[in-house]
Amino acid sequence: MKLTSRFSEAVACALGLHADQRRKVSGAPYAAHLLRVAGIALEHGADEDEAIAAVLHDAIEDGGGPAAREEIRGRFGQRVVQIVEGSTDTDQVPKPPWHQRKRAFIAQLASASPSVRLVVAADKLDNARSILRDYGSVGRSLWGHFRGGREGTLWYYRVVVEALKQAGTGPLVDELDQTVRRIEQLA
């Protein structure tokens, strides 16, 4: 599959929406995460709309709320915005309590479209890899960077894996499961 200028435009849009954001522990530009998620999705068969949604997956939640939703719809179409919405746990500001929004997100995940599950699995795999890498750098203090702390974060990643498995497994979900198991063993 060949990526068109739509994908380049989506990358530019994502970079603009997340320009001042950094990763929680490493402090790396947030763009690195967005590009890795798109790369993981592409490696696992994403089409261009799915790759665009992958690079924009946090745009509504962390990059502009309803205004970002409408910008995505206008620039990239209804399918892309539906995938991004399905990958989003809230568009509310301020965000609802952490456990409440994570439970609601998980409840819809098993019945989500294959495109949403692909983007979510790619996102969670990149996040889980970052947790492992950051744990090697900062040790147990890592958990202080997460709203759910150690217990909540471990719970969340495990139930996301289980929800994705309910919908069907594959190499991406298997790799996510293995990565989460390594985090659980470290913790």
117 class by beta-carbon count within 10 Å (0-12 exposed, 13-18 middle, 19+ buried): buried
DSSP string covering 13-53, please? HHHHHTTT-B-TTT--BHHHHHHHHHHHHHHTT--HHHHHH
Choose the catalytic residue: 50, 61, 89, 177.
Answer: 61
Q: Over the range 60-95, which residues count as b (16 or more CB within 10 Å of their CB) and which as e?
A: bbbbbbeebbebbbeebeebbbbbbbbbbbbbeeee
Task: Name 180's Cβ contacts closer than 8 Å, sequence gap at least 6.
Answer: 128, 157, 158, 161
70 in catalytic set:
no
Q: Write down how long the chain is.
A: 187
Beta strands in 99-179 (DSSP E): none
Choose the catalytic residue: 47, 62, 91, 134.
Answer: 62
Looking up tokens 């309590």 gives: 97
Whether 64 and 75 have beta carbons less than 8 Å apart is answered as no
61 in catalytic set:
yes
The residues that are catalytic are 61-62
